[in-house]
Each structure stands twice: as structure tokens, then as C-alpha cells.
Structure 1
Amino acid sequence: MPPRLAPLLEQFDFARRRLTNRLAGPLMDSGSGTDVGVEPMTDDEYFWEPVPGCWSVRRRSSGPGPGATLLTGTGDWGRDAAPAPHPEPPPFTTIAWRLSHLSELLAMRADHTNGSHAMTREEYPVAADAATAVAALDAGAEAWRSALLAADDRALDTVGHSTYPYGSDPENPFIDIVWWVNQELLHHGAEIALLRDLYRARHR
């Protein structure tokens, strides 16, 4: 492994483990290095809309939610979306939306790095329940990790090593994309954790 990739992979593994444990339990890091119990996320929590007008994942037969113009993905469910320019201010999104977004970007970036280089958003399945969504996150993270382990120093410096078409990947060195994916996992993971806390407090 290239030495400069090692800390980024370590950070990715740490963020992935914390988020997965936060969602599925039975234990999670309290933030101080000690483990505390946590219940697996329920479907009600997965779909919880804490404010009006949330973007989420929905039955395709129901159509897109407020401010969205389409449901992206394949299958009976889709994720609220709209073509650029996106709504301003950005809509508040549910755990379901955020998990779908994270899982998709991990799986698709893996495919466009050392896979078929052909996967599209329209082909990516959208999870209709919490357990499936957590499994999809884990599968996407494992696929991306495999892509990282296959990268050597030359790949890290190669512009367009990832051909993911929904970001700046074709214009940037792969090492920049590795960093970007880490911050996506870190900041969306923090958002999801906060939503879990708010949901729990609301139902006390």
C-alpha cells in the first residue's frame, strides 16, 4: 500500500465502523472511547421526516416529494432528486435519503474505479427498509475499500482513475477523490447520528 494512502484508509475504516455500529448496534462508541448499547434503526426512524418538505425515498407509484422532480434509482422505490440547478436552500433530507446517497456514491465510485465503469444512478436499487439500507451501505463501503486496496502510487496520481460521472472524478487525481469520499462518509455519518439522537429524544 502506498504510505500516503494508509492514513486515508484508516480514516475511512474508522468512519465506516462508527456509522455502521451507530445504525445496527448492539454497541456503538459513545464518543469517549467507551461502548454503549444502541438499538438497530427501525423503519419508522429510517423514514422519519422531522420537518415539513423533507426529501426522502418513496414508492415510485407515489411520485417525488415536495420540490423534487424525479425519483432516481431502480425498483419500486426511488430517491427524491432534481436536475441542476438544485433547490436553494437545499431541502432537509431523511436518514433514508442520506443512506441511499452514501451507499450509491460508494458503490458507483467503486464500479467506476475498478469495475465495469458503466453503472448509472438509474440502475442503482433504492432500499425500501432500514435493514436493507444498512446492508447496502456495508456492501458499497466494502466495494470502495477493495478499489482503494487495488490502487498503487501511480493510480493515486492519475487524473480520471475514477470515471464516476456525477462528480469531479474525471478531472482530479485519484488521491483527491479518496479524500473527498472520506469527508462524504464523515459528514453524512455525523448527520445521520444526530438524526438518530433527535428521533430517540422525540420518542422518550
Structure 2
Amino acid sequence: MTTPSRLSPLLQQFDFAAERLIHRLTGPVMDSGDGADTEVGPVTDEEYLWEPVPGCWSVRRRGDGPGPRATFLAGTGDWGRDAASYPHPWPPPFTTLAWRLSHLTEMLVLRADHTAGGHALTRDDHPVSGDAAGAVAAFAAGAAAWRRALLAVDEAALDTVGYCTYPHGSDPEEPFIDVVWWVNQEVLHHGAEIALLRDLYRAAPPRPFHP
């Protein structure tokens, strides 16, 4: 299928953002933004779970229960992601690299399913990774699933309201091209947050690690 002309720049933007984030998390080099490669090591489990300030939301072993101001752990498996029903806590909790990467991955996987899959997955179905390598692999798989969903759409689909039935956003009331734009900005802005957390972790003093 030929990619619709309106979708092509958004798809290119998504590819750039997802690839750049993966390289930022895995190394051995990343795009520095000026055309030069910058050396970077893979994110470690300690860094993945690092809480730079008190009261962070993160991913946690299910048996440990939710963190401060969270009321439940989202997802399935031995680990879950701190969450709360509406209204969310205010001011919003600071979130760890693990929380942000899990949030991105869940969004991509669920939106792919609600666009080109069974239209059935919920947050309760999504496994949460307790280790860095598993989380990065899950993100890469989610990005690939979303990309496949995009390659299956045509011009008519881009203008169809509710083409994506993702239940945790306004997707059922939005033209699909607006959903595509929104996913891109999610990857871009959370990717930037994750990059900043990596910089802060690198510059922070040594700290004890208790997985």
C-alpha cells in the first residue's frame, strides 16, 4: 500500500523520534542533534529505577504495593506502574525513567491494537517490565507495532473519526491523523524527558541501589 502523502512526514518524524530514543537508551552512540555521534552506554537497572526526588512514581514489584499518592499498580505481571484514578494527584508526581518508558510502551501497544488489531487490549493486559533491558525491548516492539498499524491506513482512514478506538484518550472522537500527530508528540516529549533523566543520573553523586 502506498503511504498517504499527508502521513509520510508524520511517519518519518515518528521513526526519527523512536529510533533516537532507542539509541539514547542502548548506545553505543546516539544522535547528538548536530549530526555528530555521542557515546552513550546502555541504561542499567539501577538507572531505570532511580528516584531522583522523594515521592516519585515508578514501576514496582506488585507485592510491594503502589508508591506515594498512587492508589494502584497498573498493568499485569510481577511488576506494575504507579497509577491513580481521576482526579490525579496535584501537583503531578515526578516520574522515573521506568515509569515514562512503561507509559510510552503501553500507549503504543494499546493504540496499535485499537487501530489494526483486536480492539480489545486494556491497561490490565499490558505487562510492565521490572528491568531495563526488558523495558527497552518492549518499547521497540511497541514502536514497531504502531508503525505497522500506520502502514495499513489509507487517505480515507486519516480523516475517519474514531478509526482508533483507544479507550484512554479522545481517540474515538478524533480524526485518525490527529491521533497520529498526538502519538508523535508523546514520543518526542517523553523521549526528551528520558534523555534529561539520563543526563541527571550521570551527573548525580553515587547512590545505593536496592532492586
Report the counterpart of residue 75 of structure 2 in structure 1.
73
* Rounded Cα–Cα distance in structure 2 between residues aligned with 1:114 and 1:32: 36
* Rounded Cα–Cα distance in structure 2 between residues aligned with 1:73 and 1:41: 22
Cα offset for 1:30? 1.4
Report the counterpart of residue 171 of structure 1 in structure 2.
173
Q: Secondary structure at the match of 2:94?
A: coil
Q: Please list every run of 5 or more consecutive structure 2 residues that lacks an aligned counterpart in the other structure.
A: 207-211
Percent identity over the alignment is 73
Cα offset for 1:112? 0.3
Matches within 5 A, 1:7-156: 7-156=9-158
Cα offset for 1:203? 4.3
* Rounded Cα–Cα distance in structure 1 between residues aligned with 2:150 and 2:141: 14
Report the counterpart of residue 6 of structure 2 in structure 1.
4
* Rounded Cα–Cα distance in structure 2 between residues aligned with 1:71 and 1:30: 35
Please, what TM-score do these two structures have when normalized by structure 1?
0.99
Could you say what the CA RMSD is over the residues aligned between the two structures, in angstroms? 0.7
* Rounded Cα–Cα distance in structure 1 between residues aligned with 2:109 and 2:88: 23
**One of 181, 186, 189 as aligned partner of 2:188:** 186
Cα offset for 1:37? 1.1
Q: Deviations over 1:15-74 (max 9, x none)?
A: 011100000011101121101111000000000000000000000000000000000100
Q: Secondary structure at the match of 1:136?
A: helix
Q: Secondary structure at the match of 1:18?
A: helix
Aligned residues: 204
Please, what TM-score do these two structures have when normalized by structure 2?
0.96
Runs of 4+ aligned structure 1 residues displaced above 4 Å come to none
* Rounded Cα–Cα distance in structure 2 between residues aligned with 1:30 and 1:182: 19
1:151 is matched by which residue type in structure 2?
V
